């Protein structure tokens, strides 16, 4: 297993912001993307890097964690033309923490596996306190 140094985090909402901050506290380099950049300002001030597109996160990280709103968001982020599966390097870990559809997780796994990318469907709950 390759050592993970850089973690991309897509979706800096209530839970994502806390989780990305904990990764930074643990010593990981964190790269963030969210549709509204202002939501990532506190993490950027703390030392996270900002990328303006999912594709750039995919090209820059050893692992990418996503926590977005809806299955349609997950589908676009992972399987879209400028998505994670199309642009992540073989050996990258993609971890989706969105509560989504099991069939979508299976589709992502199959397409990622074809490119030598590892996936994990890991939906979470608990809100900001749990995060």
**Would you write out the chain's pLDDT as a tens digit for each of its 131 residues?**
568 899 999 999 888 999 999 999 999 999 999 988 999 999 999 999 999 999 999 999 999 999 998 999 999 999 999 999 999 999 999 999 998 899 999 999 999 999 999 999 998 866 555 54
DSSP E strands, 1-131? 6-10, 29-33, 49-50, 63-66, 93-96, 118-121
Closest CA to 64 of 88, 100, 81, 37: 88
* Rounded CA separation 112/16 (Å): 23
The domains of the chain, with CATH numbers, are 6-125 (3.40.50.720)
pTM of the model: 0.92
């Amino acid at each position: 297993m390759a050592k993970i140094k850089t973690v991309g985090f897509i979706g800096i909402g209530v839970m994502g912001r806390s989780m990305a901050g904990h990764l930074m506290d643990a010593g990981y380099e964190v790269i963030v993307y969210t549709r509204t950049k202002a939501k990532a300002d506190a993490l950027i001030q703390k030392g996270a890097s900002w990328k303006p597109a999912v594709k750039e996160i995919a090209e820059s990280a050893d692992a990418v964690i996503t926590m977005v709103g809806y299955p349609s968001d997950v589908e676009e982020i992972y399987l879209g033309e400028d998505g994670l599966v199309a642009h992540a390097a073989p050996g990258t870990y993609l971890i989706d923490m969105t509560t989504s559809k099991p069939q979508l997780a299976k589709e992502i796994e199959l397409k990622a596996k074809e490119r030598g990318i590892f996936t994990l469907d890991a939906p979470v709950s608990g809100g900001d306190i749990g995060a």
